[in-house]
Amino acid sequence: MAKILIVEDDPDMVTALRIPLEANGYEVFTAVSGEEGLQKVKEVGPDLIILDVMMETTTAGFQVSLQLRSPDPKSEYAPYRDIPILILTAIHTTTSLRFGPDEAYLPVDDFVDKPVDPDVLLQKVRALIERAR
Amino acid sequence: MGLSQVLNCLAAAAAKVLSMEVATVLLLEETEDRLTVAAVYGVDARQPVGVQFVAPLTPSPVILVEDARVDPRGVPFPPDLVSAVCVPLGVEGRLLGWLCVYGPRPRQLTLEDGERLKALADLGGMAIQAARGLADLERIELSKSQFIRVATHELRSPVTVAQSLVRTVLKGYTGPLTEQQQEIFARVAGRLDFLESLVNDLLDLAASRAPELAEEEGPAAVNASVGRAVLLLQPRAEEKGVSLTVHPCREELAVWATEEGLDRIFVNLIGNAVKYTPSGGRVAVSLSREGETARVEVADTGIGIPETSLPRLFEEFYRAPNARRFDIGTGLGLAIVKELVDRYGGRIEVESKVGEGTTFTVAFPLWRPM
């Protein structure tokens, strides 16, 4: 059973993510801050990380992804560098046409827009875990 | 014109009026107990000059100094300036500051010289008052926009969480729903989606009114922006059975704007056209260059806009009666479009006939590299 770590400070958003994931057999772990997220990565060794951007600071999620993907070979997170990261974005898509992770700046693998569509979430989660294997 | 421009113009005009080399504008600070140099003409910020010279903090008559070296008033002057005319800058009997001009040589000065400078100072006083009023208004507008931005961000978050939760139920992840539950949750989802678009539109409107909140403007391609908007809206048009076509322009149409702003304009205009065109209808988007203008025309065969609604079309929250009956909407889209078109120096026109269709035309001045 694949393990998924959700790093998100809004408990209701965690619920909205957890329900479809658990309904599809994923084992879900949670953290409510960037700091706790990094700690849980080491504890749990997840197969995928779902990361909110705005938590204790407006860029806490980016900081987490930057730490996890640090190119420094001595980084304490080096063993976790290849865990796929799915980021939750709050940029509204009705009029904003350019969004999503920019590889030059943001070391993440894919994004899911808020409000989250559970079908889209599952599809992306499946694809990323598949790819990482 | 901003306050600093007004002050610089005033200093330059003062020096020219009396053919003197240096001019300063001194303004009373808010506490009214000190004068500071607000603008200098003719030398590099020769600040001590004016401040040393003009002591009176209340309206006083014109001060003439023909040769400071022999002036009995013992006015402190820098070595290279010896003559001066200073007049109070006032408006409605209130002292705002002083307007002073200086020369490097002794000079015979008459009361008429003082009067000529005073006439300019009276106009300058009014211009300063107007510029200050405008700056106050801009500050209020900006803080209003900032408030809206913070408020909408705070509103958006709970709305998107509620939408996400409702979707897990609606899509059956919490177990099967009865037909009635399904219908009720669908209505809740619909209301939340509307609330989300309202919050997004308010955010866009706030951003369009405060350039400080938006990306910096620069050359932006109209062709690419229209392409992105059509790509986004094509699925919606197909779903509705509305044909959405583009007549492109082979030339690159660059205008001075932001890509984000252009996208908002075209997503709103083309989105409206698709929305208010019933199944089987057509939406045609045409790009062209006319002289030094980039033109985009969005023509639909939709429900049209009643003539009585046309003058109010760009008002916030205004929606034409037939539009209200036809579909939901926030009534903010065209207000956003108008703000942005104005900001980029463009024009927007609309022609419409109820039951036949609507054509919006936007035109922007083309940007040319220097």
pLDDT tens for each residue of B207-227: 777 666 667 889 999 999 999
Amino acid at position A8, single letter: E
B197 vs B330: CA distance, rounded Å: 7
What is the structure's pLDDT at A98? Answer: 42
Task: Delineate the domains of chain A, giving CATH numbers in brackets.
Answer: 3-132 (3.40.50.2300)
Please report the ipTM that was assigned to this predicted complex.
Answer: 0.86
What DSSP string describes B238-250? HHHT-EEEEE--S
B1 vs A115: CA distance, rounded Å: 44
**A7 contacts A50 by C-beta, under 8 angstroms:** yes
Decide if B167 touches A, using CB distance below 8 A.
yes
**Least confident interval from A13-27, B136-150, B253-267, B328-342:** B136-150
* Residue A6 β-bridge partners: A30, A50
Decide if B154 touches A, using CB distance below 8 A.
no
Higher confidence at residue B337 or residue B77? B337
Task: Delineate the domains of chain B, giving CATH numbers in brackets.
Answer: 3-138 (3.30.450.40), 216-370 (3.30.565.10)
pLDDT at A97 over 70: no
A78 vs A49: CA distance, rounded Å: 15
**B244 contacts B234 by C-beta, under 8 angstroms:** yes
Please enumerate in sequence order all residues whose Cβ is within 8 A of that of B45, keeping only pairs 6 or more positions apart, or say none: B37
Closest CA to B88 of B52, B51, B61: B61
Residue A24 CA: distances (Å) to CA of A18, A113, A118, B38: 10, 20, 11, 69
Please, what is the angle between helix A11-23 and helix A118-132, to 10°? 70
CB atoms within 10 A of CB B50: 25
Mean of per-residue pLDDT scores for chain B: 88
Closest CB to B173: pick one of A23, A95, A115: A23
Query: Exposed e or buried b for every residue in B181-199, given b needs 16+ CB within 10 A?
Result: eeeebeebbeebbebbbbb
A46 vs B339: CA distance, rounded Å: 48
Mutate to test the interface with B, among A97, A120, A121, A123 (most CBs of B within 10 A): A97
B19 vs B186: CA distance, rounded Å: 78
Q: Give the distance from CA B39 to its chain's centroid.
A: 26
pLDDT tens for each residue of A64-75: 888 888 888 888
pLDDT tens for each residue of B147-197: 877 777 788 889 999 999 999 999 999 999 999 999 999 999 999 999 988
What is the structure's pLDDT at A94? Answer: 42
Highest mean pLDDT among B25-34, B87-96, B137-146, B159-168: B159-168
Decide if A95 touches B, using CB distance below 8 A.
yes
